Amino acid sequence: MAEPDLSVKSITKIVESYPRDKRHSLAILQDMQRSFGYIPREGFDILSRYLDTKIAKLFAMATFYRALSLKPKGKHVIRVCDGTACHIRGAPVLLDALERILGVKAGETTADGFFTVETVNCLGACAIAPVMVVDEQYHPQVKPDQVEAILKACRGGKNG
């Protein structure tokens, strides 16, 4: 996977594709997230100057929305639902297996940058609990002994 272009030029291109209106702040931050996988520090600086607004306001917005990240995420983002139905049906055990196999805790990214593990409050898929989503692919009724096979498939069948 090619590294995203974090140059000032590429960030400025995203920012300047919008009118100078503070109501576009969230959309611009979302575009940075989509382009880079997170919102780089330089993005806040450039956007702050462009919209003539305080960085603290932009930072508050970015930290309020869980879909936005201040840290780079892995190539594959794994979300484990920990809503009531999933929790009761084994999400904590599933998360333990995932953390043990990958050697990271929820909220962290593997050293190779391949996986980021996250928990979410609810995915709205209670009927198929416990649910694990890898990128946008839902894995229903996941058992801890299925985790390695799911990860192996993400790696293209390679071990590790």
pLDDT score of 155: 86
**pLDDT at 1 (0 to 100):** 44
Report the C-alpha gap between 105 and 121 in whole angstroms: 16
Q: What pLDDT is attached to residue 156? A: 83
Instruction: Give the model confidence (pLDDT) of 114-147 as tens digits.
Output: 999 999 999 999 999 999 999 889 999 999 999 9
For each of the domains in the chain, give its residue range(s) and CATH number, in order of start.
Answer: 8-64 (no CATH), 76-154 (3.40.30.10)
Q: Find how far residue 34's CA is from the centre of its chain.
A: 10
pLDDT at res. 72: 87
Neighbours of 61 (CB within 10 A): 14
Please give the pLDDT value at position 7: 83
62 touches 70 (CB < 8 A): yes
Give the span between the Cα atoms of 26 and 14, in whole angstroms. 12
Run of H or E including 77: strand 76-81
- Among residues 76, 65, 7, which one has the least CA distance to residue 37? 76
Residues of the chain with pLDDT under 50: 1-2, 159-160
